[in-house]
Chains A and B, each alone.
Chain A
Amino acid sequence: MKIMVPIKRVIDYAVKIRVKPDKTGVETSNVKMSMNPFCEIALEEALRIKESGLATEVVAVSMGPTQCVDTLRTGLAMGAERGIYVEAKGDLFPLSVAKILKKLIEIEKPGLLILGKQAIDDDCNQTGQMVAGLLGWPQGTFASKVLLDKEKQVATVEREVDGGLETLCLDLPAVITTDLRLNQPRYATLPNIMKAKSKVIKKFTLLDLNVEIKPDLEIVEVREPPKRKAGVIVSSVDELIDKLRNEAHVI
């Protein structure tokens, strides 16, 4: 079985973002970019499944501007066998990404698609569910544990839901999206980074895949959130209780 893992290049999670003065978006030039943390977890899970002998190959996929190839190289250095890069300019909303993934899945025929639960830039949390819907595959979102049964061709997925954990059993092929606690992603070692340079990244254009992007969303404005007004430092518990009772009226 083959596992496909889509990965996204985003602003590094530790960077404090700046909104552009013209309010068209967030400053991305000269800003450190990395693989989306949830995508790292997805890739790690795919690699662990392969290492336990339940999968034969892990294919990493990324789409967007040319620099996404660097993110793919990171994925290859972590241990993916090969990469697929889809060249696309402009805003790619999750519906478009899901449609592109559907085409790639029709070409590659993986038995499992593992994605991060959300990208930390647009915070959408949609792509995995949408590609599952387009393919008619079952979905296991927000996974904190994944167990594969090769004989029965099912995946048992433990999911993080409001108020606890839920366990589902999915017929393969299936789509799984990863939550934070699924695993601890590995670091790419220097020898593996060197090896990754010779691994194959196949390039597609939207024309090759025959995917039409018709955005039905328009970004009107991006602005900074309102600042909270400066607070006060109190010196004692008594003063705090007094303020909460007589000034804020919350207790």
Chain B
Amino acid sequence: MAAIGAIIHRALSKRTLPLATTSISRSISALVIVEHEGGAIKPQSVSAVAAAKSLSDDDNTIAMLLAGSGPSLHLAASRAATCHPSVSQVLVADSDKFSYSLAEPWAKLVHLVHQRGGYSHVIAASSSFGKNVLPRAAALLDVSPITDIVEISGSSQFVRPIYAGNALCTVRYTGANPCMLTIRATSFPVPPVSSDSKLNEAPISQVDLSTFDEDITGKSRYVGHTSQDTERPDLGNARIVVTGGRGLKSAENFKMLEKLAEKLGAAVGATRAAVDAGFVPNDLQVGQTGKIVAPELYMAFGVSGAIQHLAGMRDSKVIVAVNKDADAPIFQVADYGLVGDLFVVIPELSEKLPGKK
């Protein structure tokens, strides 16, 4: 009996195993968690859709999940429906519970939506929102999330930086569905959508919240928010970034850098040293513990090039460094270096550079 049992078992496992693997590789259904503000979708969420698309060569089903309340939510949903040709569905959770992006209701929502949709992947951008919500949702689903992916090589194999970007780690996800990922937005650029591409508009449907469990979600409350209002482009998505380090010596001198940034249509960044010295607020910090940027042009003034800073900008396309210390480590990663006094160089650049296009 035992022998027969073993044979049957072997036969079964032989048959079921390949079937199971093909079914995983065949059907990718991804749920993208979307951030929106003032009726617009954040660009990093569209990057998350681009990442979802690159999970396999076949036609992936990609659903976008938006939550919030009021007319701006519905405006954002209609924009989501046309933001990327691969989006097949837009899910909208409309409730006061989602007026602010609190992790507790959001994680519950992701859990609920996954239980109904049975997604193979759940993806968010590695923003402060994505990093706050996704691991909590993963714990509710009892799966290991993968943070800050820079490369997708198949539906379950991913590359992510570790040790402040000083090493790249390839990981394979072997667990149950869903595979939960946060992606580094700058690694998944979105091709510009031409205005006449109104070909497909994904259907928008409401998430049924009647079974939404309220116990957990009342334990945290939103109190307030202070934001740094700037008219310049957002640091995370700017095409050009100019950064100042301790070499700028004072908050006053950062104005000089701002003037240059204005001329270039660039965002202003700072090193941890400049933030700690109180020159600029900390949301300008570029580095492992601040923002990670990958603009087309990165200009570093008075930046030595500490490991923690390099981790935040090493993927920039062209790096320019201006520093009076010719031995500063920043010159090792710079495409163009200029050894000189930044108090002379910055005004000269501001004067000679062409205005913003």
B226 contacts A216, CB within 8 Å? no
Tell me which residues from 153 to 201 in chain B have a Cβ below 8 Å from any Cβ of chain A: 157, 160-176
Say which residue of A166, A174, A243 sits within 8 Å of B336 (CB atoms): A243
Majority SS of interface residues in chain A? mixed
Bound Cα distance from A174 to B220, whole angstroms: 9
A244 contacts B163, CB within 8 Å? no
Contacts of B204 in A (CB 8 A): none
Q: Is A164 interfacial (CB-CB < 8 Å)?
A: yes
Q: Is A224 interfacial (CB-CB < 8 Å)?
A: yes
Say which residue of B228, B288, B317, B336 sits within 8 Å of A163 (CB atoms): B228
Given contacts A17-B163, A26-B163, A123-B162, is CB(A163)–CB(B138) below 8 Å? Answer: no
Q: Is A171 interfacial (CB-CB < 8 Å)?
A: yes
B307 contacts A16, CB within 8 Å? yes
B228 nearest CB neighbor, chain A only: A164
Q: Which size bracket describes the interface of A in this complex?
A: 35 or more
B128 contacts A142, CB within 8 Å? yes
Q: Smallest Cβ distance from B125 to chain A, in angstroms?
A: 10
A217 contacts B228, CB within 8 Å? no
A131 nearest CB neighbor, chain B only: B139
Q: Is A160 interfacial (CB-CB < 8 Å)?
A: yes
Bound Cα distance from A163 to B339, whole angstroms: 33
Bound Cα distance from A238 to B336, whole angstroms: 12
Q: Is A225 interfacial (CB-CB < 8 Å)?
A: yes
Q: 1/0 contact trace for B322-352 toward A, CB 8 Å?
A: 0000100001011111110000010011001
A136 contacts B139, CB within 8 Å? no
Bound Cα distance from A217 to B176, whole angstroms: 11
Given contacts A93-B144, A233-B338, A237-B352, is CB(A168)–CB(B220) below 8 Å? Answer: yes
Q: 1/0 contact trace for B237-249 toward A, CB 8 Å?
A: 0001000000000
Q: Smallest Cβ distance from B194 to chain A, in angstroms?
A: 23
Say which residue of B138, B142, B171 sits within 8 Å of A220 (CB atoms): B171
B219 contacts A160, CB within 8 Å? no
Which B residues have a C-beta under 8 Å from some C-beta of A?
102-104, 107, 127-129, 131-140, 142-148, 157, 160-176, 215-216, 218-228, 234, 236, 240, 264, 272, 276, 282-283, 288-289, 291, 296-297, 307-308, 314, 317-320, 326, 331, 333-339, 345, 348-349, 352-354
Which A residues have a C-beta under 8 Å from some C-beta of B?
11, 13, 16-17, 19, 26, 93-95, 98, 120-127, 129-134, 136-142, 144, 156, 159-171, 174, 179-181, 215-225, 228, 231-238, 240-241, 243-244, 248, 250-251
